[in-house]
């Protein structure tokens, strides 16, 4: 039977074939990726778009958590100072209710209390990066100002708005408590109690001062209770952070499954391709030069 006498085309095709297998294995080993263009595995490439987006989101969530944690801790720190100030104010209030005080002593206490009042206003105006933490959503201006004409001694220019931030997929978290809720709550009104104490020490009776001190106590209890909100939020962020870091690892390993090269397999493929390539070359070297002419003298 007559066969194709010109084997050079087939030999070349075989050599190119084994060479391209070598290239593929080598590319997988050097890039560490099995899918370098969408056509290498269209489905995996499409899924990688989602994986990449999810991974970007996770990075952003982690960054958000850092920002939020620092905001929440600053707010909680401010409240902790408020609590200290209130402790002091209560002590002063108790002193003020003893009937044996001279007018000068009272005046002294009033002055101390007024100092505390303005301290409290300052704390209620705590800001981070120009954003006032207790102003509701009107965060661009200090929410509290001293105002002797107001029964609470202050005016509140913030609002009662709250913000929520997504800290992870499916987890939204309230990130602020407005000043009106914290410091002027019917369940414990810090500023009204302060102002009442000051007024009663200036013009009222010891009983008035005692009542005002009691109101200050309930304000103290209320604020202490509200701090739990911040503590909880920070705790929740901490555990979310751990979860998200885990998620990052999962996403990376998912990406690796989708498009990563199996290096052991790539190495085996490379060896196999090299062997095949050597064989093709050896066969070419044996076959191509032989001709009947070699045997004729």
Partner 1 sequence: MPGLNTSLSIAVQALQAEQGALSVTANNISNVNTPGYSRQVAILNEAPTFQENTTTFGSGVTLDQFQSVRDQLLQLRLYEETQQQGNSQTQLNSLNQIEGMFSDPAQGVGGALSAFFNSLSQLSTNPTDANARQQVLTAGNNLANSFHQAVSGLGTIQSGLDQSVPQTVDQINRLTTQIAALNGQVAQMQGLGKDPGSTQDQRDELIRQLSALVNVSVTQTEHGLTLTTGNGVPLVVANQSFALQSGTNSSNVQDVFSAQGQDITSQIQGGQLGGTLQIRDQVIPQVFTQLNNLASQFATSFNTQHQAGFDAAGNAGQNFFNPLASPTNAAANFGVAITDPSLIAASSDGSAGSNGNLAPLLAIRDQQLPSGASPMNMYSNLVLQVGNFGANAQADVNASNLSVQQITDQRSAVSGVSLDEETTNMIRYQRAYEAGARVVTTVDSMFDTLMAMGVLT
161 binds partner 1 (CB under 8 A): yes
Q: How far apart are CA 132 and CA 125, in angstroms?
A: 6
SS3 171: strand
Query: For residue 212, what are the CA distances in angstroms to 81, 141, 147, 223?
Result: 21, 30, 19, 16
Residue with tokens 């996770």: 58
Q: Dump the DSSP string for 4-23.
A: -S--HHHHHHHHHHHHHHHH
47 binds partner 1 (CB under 8 A): yes
**Which of 48, 52, 53 has the alpha carbon at shortest distance from 38?**
48
289 binds partner 1 (CB under 8 A): no
> How many Å separate Cα 113 from the centre of its chain?
39
Quick one: 64 or 195, whose CB is closer to partner 1?
A: 64
In sequence order, what are the beta bridge partners of 155?
A: 145
Quick one: 38 or 151, whose CB is closer to partner 1?
A: 38
159 binds partner 1 (CB under 8 A): yes
Q: Which stretch binds partner 1 (CB under 8 A): 64-72, 94-102, 185-193, 227-235?
A: 64-72
60 binds partner 1 (CB under 8 A): yes
Single residue of 91, 98, 105, 140 touching partner 1 by CB under 8 A:
140
Least spacing, CB of residue 169 vs partner 1, in Å? 9
In sequence order, what are the beta bridge partners of 15?
A: none
In sequence order, what are the beta bridge partners of 189?
A: 184
Residues 109 to 138 in contact with partner 1, rule: CB under 8 A: 129-132, 135-138
Interface contacts to partner 1, rule CB under 8 A: 2-6, 9-10, 13, 36-43, 45-53, 56-57, 59-61, 63-64, 67-68, 71, 129-132, 135-140, 159, 161, 163-166, 172, 175, 291-293, 296
């Amino acid at each position: 039977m007559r066969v194709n006498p010109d084997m050079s085309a087939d030999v070349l095709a075989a050599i190119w074939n084994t060479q391209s297998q070598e290239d593929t294995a080598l590319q997988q080993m050097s890039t560490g990726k099995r899918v370098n263009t969408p056509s290498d595995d269209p489905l995996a490439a499409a899924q990688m778009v989602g994986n990449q987006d999810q991974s970007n989101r996770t990075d952003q969530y982690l960054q958000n958590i850092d920002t939020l944690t620092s905001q929440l801790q600053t707010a909680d720190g401010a409240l902790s100072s408020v609590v200290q100030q209130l402790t002091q104010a209560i002590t002063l209030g108790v002193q003020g209710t003893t009937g044996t005080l001279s007018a000068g002593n009272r005046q002294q206490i009033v002055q101390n209390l007024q100092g505390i009042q303005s301290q409290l206003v300052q704390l209620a105006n705590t800001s981070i990066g120009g954003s006032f933490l207790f102003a509701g959503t009107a965060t661009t201006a200090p929410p509290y100002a001293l105002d002797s004409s107001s029964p609470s001694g202050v005016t509140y220019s913030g609002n009662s708005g709250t913000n929520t931030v997504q800290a992870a997929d499916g987890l939204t978290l309230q990130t602020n408590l407005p000043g009106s809720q914290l410091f002027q709550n019917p369940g414990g009104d810090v500023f009204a109690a302060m102002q009442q104490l000051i007024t009663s020490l200036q013009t009222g009776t010891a009983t008035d001062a005692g009542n005002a001190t009691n109101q200050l106590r309930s304000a103290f209890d209320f604020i202490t209770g509200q701090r739990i909100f911040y503590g909880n939020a920070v705790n929740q962020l901490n555990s979310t952070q751990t979860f998200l870091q885990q998620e990052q690892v999962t996403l990376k390993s998912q990406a690796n499954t989708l498009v990563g090269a199996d290096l052991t397999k790539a190495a085996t493929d490379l060896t196999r391709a090299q062997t095949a390539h050597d064989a093709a070359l050896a066969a070419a070297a044996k076959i191509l030069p032989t001709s009947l002419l070699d045997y004729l003298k």
